[in-house]
Structures are given as C-alpha cells and as structure tokens.
Chain A
Amino acid sequence: MTILAFTVLIALGSFVAGFLGALTGLGGGVVIVPLLALVFGVDIRYAIGASLVSVIATSSGAAAAYVREGYSNIRIGMFLEIATTIGAIVGAMIATHITTNLIGIIFGLVLLYSAFLSARPQPDVPIDATPDRLAGALRLNGSYPVGTGMRAYTVHRVPLGFSLMFGAGTLSGLLGIGSGAIKVIAMDQAMKIPFKVSTTTSNFMIGVTAAASAGIYLTRGYIDPGIAMPVMLGVLAGSLLGARVLVKARTKWLRLVFSAVIVVLAFEMIYNGFSGKL
C-alpha cells in the first residue's frame, strides 16, 4: 500500500470512529487503537500515540459546546485532575516497561468493561442531603440546569472518587485512551454527582489528563506524524459532525451496534495478545 492510500484509509476509518464515538457518547478513542493495530497492522505503540493525540483533539474541540450548556463543574474537574494527571504519568511510564502483548490484553479487558458500562442504564442520582465535609471544604458542591431552573447537588466520598480518578488516569496514560467511562463511574457512582454533570466534566478533564502523558509518548517516539495526522484530523472531523447530528439522531440502536463492535474488537485484542501477535 502506498502512503497516500494508507493515509486516506486511516483518515476515513478515524472519521467513522469519531462520528460514532460522538453519537453514542462512547468516545472515538476506544476503537482507534484496535482499528489501527488489528485492521491496519500498525504497531500498537504508534496506535496508542495517535489515539492519545486524537483524544486531546476531541476533548478540547467539544469543550466549548459542553460549557455553554452549563453542566460541567470546573472545581470538581480541576481538583480531580490532580489525580488523573499524576496517574497518566504513571501509566505512560508503565507502558514503556511492559510488553505490547500485555498492553493488548489490558486494552481488551478495558474495552469489554467500557461496553458493559454503556449497556447499563443511567439513572439520575436522587439528591442526598448528607453533606461530605471534604466536599464542602473543597467547595465541590454546585448546581446544574434542569427544566424548571437550577438544581443543587452535593458531592460525596471524595477520597474514593479521587482514588478512582488516579486509576482512570493510569489507564489513560497506559492505553492512550480518554478513560471517559471510568471517569464517569468515579463521579456518578462513587461521588454521587449527577450524570450530566459527570459526563460533561469528564470530557473537560480528558484533554488535560492526556496532555500529561503526551510528552512522555512524544519523547519515546510513539507519536508518528504519518499515523497521528490522519487519525487526529479524521477523529476531530467525525466527532464534530457527530456532535452536530446528535440532537436529532436516535442513538439507542446505534449504541448497541457500536457496543457489539467494541466487544468483538476486545476479544480480538485479548486473543492477539495471548497468541503474541501484537
């Protein structure tokens, strides 16, 4: 294959991944690495480097739209970024010391978990009156717009959420993904932050988290311009378009199809990892 054909095909694949990722809310990053590694035969380290770059592009590109809706909580995001950025550095360090096959297996397991999470219903958390002292001291409690005005919420189990965020950051740095699904779990399940606040704040945090490991990837030679260029441009264009049509589209069946694709890719990553093909 010539470089021109390779570039165009990867840009198209990344465009579709970014588009579906934005429509389903699962993020395009999770399928970029298996797409590059399994379909295009790209070394998984280059794939992870390109994916990490695309994650920064989608997170930052979508931030303006999310902010306008008024759901994201900048204090929660900033406080938890202390955990995710330190985790991301740890993850990027681990990535350079373990075999690519092991990375592939871990990647597959995280993919399976993400697909499982997306299949789970997302109830809005009922308001709990018991305040968390730490959340009060850190001024994490806030309010978000609902149909009738603003609804206040309180934040709980701050140390648990902070620890989970460290884990999410580590996976982000290790696998070149946004770890959006795990960030949302930490906020919405552990800290009892309303789901919409969790997802939008998570998106805001993803770019900063990824930036913490990007430098390590760059100096280790994981970011190849020939691969990162079509991936970044494709995912960015796809996710921006996806966010535009999101309002009109019925995404339930699409989520199912995309989740099924993720499960297939996950098993293939795990299989290839165990058989030493990555």
Chain B
Amino acid sequence: MTHHSLDDRGIEIMIGNLLRAGVLIAAAVVVVGAVIYLSHYALQPANFSIFRGEAAALRTLPAIVRGAMRLHGKSVIQFGLLLLIATPIARVVFSVIGFADERDYLYVALTLIVLAVLLYSLIGSGVA
C-alpha cells in the first residue's frame, strides 16, 4: 500500500513550503498595514466592545484591494489577511495538480470537491 508514498511526500513537502511562504508574505503585508494604521490611530481611544460590523470597504475583495492601493492602513491589513486566507486554498489547488500528475483521478475529483466548497463559500458570501 505504500507504492505512492514517495510521490505523496514530494507533493507534501512542496505544499508545506508553499504554505509557509504564503504565511510569511501575508504576515509581512499585515506588518506594513499595522505601521500605517498605528501611525494614524495610535493615540485614539480603543473601543471594540460594541459590535458595529466592518465598513463595506473592509469586507469585499475589490474594495479591500482599492483601499490597499491607496495605502489605507486598515485596508492593507485586511489585504494581508486575505492573502493568509488564500494560502490554504492555494494548497488545495496545488494538491489537484499533484494528484493529476500522479494520475490519481479519484483524488483529483475529491480535491476538486473541496476546492468547489471553498470557492462556493468565498463567492457565495460575496467576498470575491
């Protein structure tokens, strides 16, 4: 039952490195956003005890990208968080490619189901 384990490990190591790179890039973007955000708001009073929901500009991909391009601190942070959310999704995409490369079509299909659920969630919720 281990005839495919070597190929699996190759895919897994590549995916593991991809995930770590994605997280580090996302964290770097969040740090940049944090610096801009704090340079504007550092001395204002903090109040997060009442839920107001985020402004529309911080809730969808196109609006977040627009704000991030103008270097709005909160938008840049939110963009970094979107990159973070994208890393596990990228992992699923790469798994599809990996399984296809192994000609394991059962797992290509199963992985595509996972990808479809993720995309349904993102598009259905109105992020993208």
- Across-interface contacts of A226 in B (CB, < 8 A): 37, 41, 46, 48, 74
Closest to B45 in A: A2
Tell me whether B38 and A60 are in contact (CB under 8 A): no
Question: Once bound together, how far apart are the Cα atoms of A89 and B119, in whole Å?
Answer: 11
Q: Is residue A212 within 8 Å, beta carbon to beta carbon, of the partner chain?
A: yes
Tell me whether A78 and B84 are in contact (CB under 8 A): no
Question: Once bound together, how far apart are the Cα atoms of A92 and B90, in whole Å?
Answer: 21
Residue in contact with B16 in the complex, picked from A63, A78, A208, CB distance below 8 Å: A63
Stretch of A103-111, A113-121, A227-235, A266-274 with 4 or more beta carbons under 8 angstroms from chain B: A227-235
Q: A63-B19, A221-B59 are in contact. Are A85 and B33 (CB under 8 A)?
A: no
Tell me whether B51 and A75 are in contact (CB under 8 A): no
Tell me whether A227 and B84 are in contact (CB under 8 A): no
Tell me whether A61 and B20 are in contact (CB under 8 A): yes
* B24-67 at interface with A (beta carbon < 8 Å): 26-27, 30-31, 33-34, 37-38, 41-46, 48-54, 58-60
Q: How many A residues touch the partner, as a band?
A: 35 or more
Tell me whether B11 and A74 are in contact (CB under 8 A): yes
Q: A46-B51, A63-B19, A215-B122 are in contact. Are A225 and B107 (CB under 8 A)?
A: no
Question: Once bound together, how far apart are the Cα atoms of A150 and B44, in whole Å?
Answer: 58
Question: Once bound together, how far apart are the Cα atoms of A260 and B114, in whole Å?
Answer: 37
Binding site for A on B (CB under 8 A): 1-2, 4-5, 8-9, 11-13, 15-17, 19-20, 22-23, 26-27, 30-31, 33-34, 37-38, 41-46, 48-54, 58-60, 73-75, 77-78, 81-82, 84-89, 91-92, 95, 104, 106-107, 110-111, 113-114, 117-118, 120-122, 124-128
17 residue pairs A–B, Cβ–Cβ below 8 Å: A1-B45, A2-B42, A40-B48, A41-B49, A56-B84, A57-B26, A63-B20, A64-B19, A74-B8, A75-B8, A86-B117, A143-B1, A208-B91, A215-B124, A215-B127, A218-B59, A225-B73
